A and B are shown apart, each in its own frame.
Chain A
Amino acid sequence: MKRLLGVVNIDGKEQLFVSSGTFVGFVDSSQSKEFKAYNWQKGLIKAKETKDELFNFRLGPSAGALFESVVFNIYTYGERMKEVYIDNTYKSRFIEDKMINKDVFEALKLSEQICASFSFSHSCAFSRAVEEAFGITPDDNTKIMRLILLEVERIFNHIFVISRLSGAAAQKVFTNHLIYLFDEILSLNKTFFGSRFLKNINTIGTIKGISKDKMEEFVKKLDDIVKEFSKLYQFSLKSYNYLDRLHNTGILTMEDFESINFDGPALKAIGASLDTRVYEELLEGFDSIVHEGGDSLSRMIVRAEEIMQSMELIKKLFQKLKTSNNKTNIKIEKDNQKRTAIGFAESPSGAIYYYIELLGDKIKYVYISTPSMFLIKAMEASLVGQIFTDFAFTIDSFGAFFADAAK
């Protein structure tokens, strides 16, 4: 299964940024016909001509029903949504442009500002790209800690998304429990790592570590929270009212994947997976959680089971942590040599890819492929044919952040 991650202009020539299995790189734009997602990525898809009975119900950018500032152009005759176009340019901060001519450490800080809930994933992907460009190999402890913290980010993100879903489904007690657990994990992050959203922890070549004893305490407390979540989740599955609201809502199919190329839990809910953790040597035997159905319920189930899976992965990775730390020799050359590299990390909603071009230690060009860019298109496709009541369940089930898509 291949994905079109973006259409990039390199040295005046259009190239396609693609991923397929272990291959991540560029192919010539003459192969664009193989990718149905090429049309929307190039902006070639225009709004269809609307019929007379349809009107544009414009929701946003600042509406109570929405979490972030975004505009939903919903074409409807009153009950069902016939077409949906999402405008997330209100959140554009042009971070890719701001990274240009900055040194790699400043650009790393900017990468964490794209989306706070994926800040560690962005930081990880960017630092891996820089390390590849300069030939830096982080030590084992750094690699293990990065994987652990990626899983921690996954856990609190999934709890947040499930709490939003249950809130939309009017399960107030369950929602309040989940918000409490979400806040507890953020407080744990602050206590042990100094940042609620794991910012300013990762750097090029190394990571701010903590002692193994403290790490053991952190893992134990996180495990208690995940066990609490597991009990609540099992209890929520007995509420047919809750499950019925999510079942058959916001359905996506493999045809949607071929035309949009999304990944993450939205793809896993259709029965397929492009999880990059499969290629991690330290996560040997990793198997993605998949579910059939393609609806909001399947996406919720995938996320809930991934929380438990992430906790098991954290425990396994913790056993591999060494007490002594071999410091990596970090050398960032300030010469005028041109370097290019690609780095990626598996964020809670899908893989993040960074393509960077460097001149010495300064960023010359950067292209960021975020999962939310694709999930927004998936949202548009899944909302078609739904009634307004199902709007919240569909939107919240994707776990997409418009700040992540708008960059």
Chain B
Amino acid sequence: MLLWPIYGLSKRYSKRYKFDIPSKPRNPFRRSLHVFVIDAGSDVELLLEFYSLMSPKYNIHRYGIFFVNTPRHADLLVILSKPTEKMLPIVKEAINHMPEPFGVLLIENETFENGIDIGLPNLVGRLKGNLEAEEIFKKLVEIAKGGLIC
């Protein structure tokens, strides 16, 4: 019997791997996307749209989308509107608390310029306009299915 290291090395270089290493990175959030929503100073329209996403009509849990109460449990940080001056450090702190890998989605409804542009890391999407619950839902499902690649 050959020495174990030589035996192992011979097996490693002589046999093919049973499983191929995937060439494309896998989406770590498939069927399990935890979302933390932060109101950065919006009028409550987007907050109410997110609230109506909890309607049984959308059934977001079926897609593995869950809303969490802390950024430490979240995969996706949704920022509603450009942050006001006072909310800017709060948003940055929330981003700091996000565990890797994470993504950020900025949603702004049709409104006057009231916020400050900050360089958001890991930005997976930027939605603007009079958004409704259905459009936000489609975006979240797209991210949950594979749009968020880290």
Chain A interface (Cβ within 8 Å of chain B)? Answer: 61-65, 67-69, 89-93, 98, 110, 113-117, 119, 160, 176, 179-180, 182-183, 186, 190, 195-197, 199, 401, 403
Q: Is the C-beta of B44 less than 8 angstroms from some C-beta in chain A?
A: yes
Residue-wise, chain B 107-143 has the 8 Å CB interface mask toward A (1 for contact) of 0000110100000000000000010110000000000
Cβ contact within 8 Å between A64 and B48: no
B115 CB to nearest chain A CB (Å): 9
Given contacts A68-B39, A69-B41, A183-B133, contact A98 B112 (CB under 8 A): yes
Report the nearest B residue to A67, measured CB to CB.
Answer: B47
A62-B94, A160-B51, A190-B132 known, 14 other contacts, Cβ within 8 Å:
A67-B44, A67-B51, A68-B39, A69-B87, A90-B84, A91-B41, A98-B112, A113-B111, A116-B45, A160-B48, A182-B52, A196-B49, A197-B48, A199-B130
Q: From A68, A90, A183, A195, give the contact of B86 (CB < 8 A).
A: A90
Q: Is the C-beta of B55 less than 8 angstroms from some C-beta in chain A?
A: yes
Cβ contact within 8 Å between A93 and B41: yes
Could you say which of A92, A93, A160, A190 has the most chain B C-beta atoms within 10 Å of its C-beta? A93
Report the nearest A residue to B70, measured CB to CB.
Answer: A64
Cβ contact within 8 Å between A62 and B86: no
Q: Is the C-beta of B90 less than 8 angstroms from some C-beta in chain A?
A: yes
B140 CB to nearest chain A CB (Å): 16
- Chain A residues near B90 (CB, 8 Å)? 61-62, 69, 90
Main secondary structure of the interface of B (DSSP, over half): loop
Report the nearest B residue to A196, measured CB to CB.
Answer: B132
Cβ contact within 8 Å between A117 and B69: no
- Chain B residues near A196 (CB, 8 Å)? 49, 132
B12 CB to nearest chain A CB (Å): 49
A403 to B70, CA, bound (A): 22
Cβ contact within 8 Å between A62 and B39: yes
A91 to B47, CA, bound (A): 13
Cβ contact within 8 Å between B84 and A92: yes
A116 to B52, CA, bound (A): 14
- Chain B residues near A199 (CB, 8 Å)? 130
Given contacts A64-B68, A68-B47, A115-B44, contact A89 B132 (CB under 8 A): no
> What count of chain B residues pass the 8 Å CB interface test?
31
Within 8 A of A (CB), among B58-82: 68-70
A92 to B51, CA, bound (A): 22
- Chain B residues near A116 (CB, 8 Å)? 43-45, 48
- Chain A residues near B42 (CB, 8 Å)? 403
Given contacts A110-B112, A117-B44, A403-B43, contact A92 B52 (CB under 8 A): no
A92 to B112, CA, bound (A): 14
Cβ contact within 8 Å between A90 and B45: no
A224 CB to nearest chain B CB (Å): 16
A401 to B45, CA, bound (A): 11
A403 to B112, CA, bound (A): 15
B7 CB to nearest chain A CB (Å): 55
A117 CB to nearest chain B CB (Å): 6
Cβ contact within 8 Å between A176 and B55: yes
Cβ contact within 8 Å between A179 and B43: no
Q: From A65, A92, A119, give the contact of B69 (CB < 8 A).
A: A65
- Chain B residues near A92 (CB, 8 Å)? 41, 84, 86
A286 to B138, CA, bound (A): 44
A150 CB to nearest chain B CB (Å): 18
Within 8 A of A (CB), among B12-45: 38-45
Residue-wise, chain B 85-110 has the 8 Å CB interface mask toward A (1 for contact) of 01100100010000000000000000
